[in-house]
Amino acid sequence: MIDLFSSKLKGNTLIFRLDPRTKFIALIIVFTSILFIKHIEYYLIWVFALCIIIVGNRIHPRFILRPLKFFVWLLFITFIFHSLLTPGRVFYHFARIYITYEGMHNGLFFSFRLFLIILFTYIFSLTTNPMDLTDGLSRLLSPLRKIRIPVDDLFTIVLIALRFTPTLFEQASKILLAQKARGLNLNVSLAKKIRHIATIIVPIILLSLKRAHELAFALEARWYHPGKKRTHFIEMKVTKADFALMFSLIVFTGGIHACEILR
């Protein structure tokens, strides 16, 4: 299972030291560039950049290849749907099923696009602590406070959700093992399995409510007041490396799109 709620990698290379706000903005720029590219060969430039990021920051390939098995079916379905539903010159047909050259080209193009988006997102999640990210985004969007949008409260909710989701999964695993130790058998018919699952879901809900109640008391004990301006234990600073990355990324993406326009 891919853990999307906690960073699995720790390091001291450039990508780990970058400010989470910088990485988030860089990811948005990369997504925008990938979505606006119209020729598949320019995706190879982003593949080359992806390889430089992986090798330059000493990220083991197994951390990158591991999530692909969860998304291969999605890439395959994308390719098949475009191959079958795009009109054009017929490459192969069986009965009333037609595969076209244009469909295969579109299928490969959109599968490649989806592949790059998945990998860039996964590298971002591996090298960024979710707690730092939510804290950074709350500071990045702090100007919205002027129009009375409760940015701090919203990201506090997100932070609590990210913090307690792994705990919830751990509790669910313990409850399942405890129920199996008491003779729970899930290798039964669907109707019985649904009834058995209720014996797992109900304790999870009760434990979640209990933890939420305890958390509410803990916040009140620490004088947490919604809507009040908060201070931060760790102050985030944008360094020269962050500015250098943003400048390099803008020049890089600008060069790609300039080449495509001139083409």
pLDDT tens, the chain, 263 aa long: 344 444 455 667 788 888 888 999 999 999 999 999 888 888 999 999 988 888 888 887 777 777 677 788 888 899 998 888 888 888 877 777 888 888 888 999 999 999 999 889 888 888 888 777 777 887 887 777 777 777 777 777 777 777 777 777 788 888 888 877 877 776 767 777 777 777 778 888 888 888 888 888 887 887 777 666 666 666 778 888 889 989 999 999 999 999 888 87
- Give pLDDT, residue 194: 73
CA dihedral 163→8→130→236, nearest 10 degrees, is 130
- CA dist., res. 4 & res. 126, Å (int): 8
Q: Are 71 and 118 in contact (CB under 8 A)?
A: yes
- Give pLDDT, residue 30: 93
- CA dist., res. 201 & res. 188, Å (int): 18
Q: What count of other Cβ atoms lies within 10 Å of the Cβ of residue 253?
A: 21
- CA dist., res. 229 & res. 23, Å (int): 25
The two structure tokens encoding residue 263: 């083409």
- CA dist., res. 124 & res. 7, Å (int): 9
Residue 209, H or E segment = helix 190-221
Distances (CA, A) of 258 to 52, 108, 112, 251, 252: 22, 23, 21, 10, 10
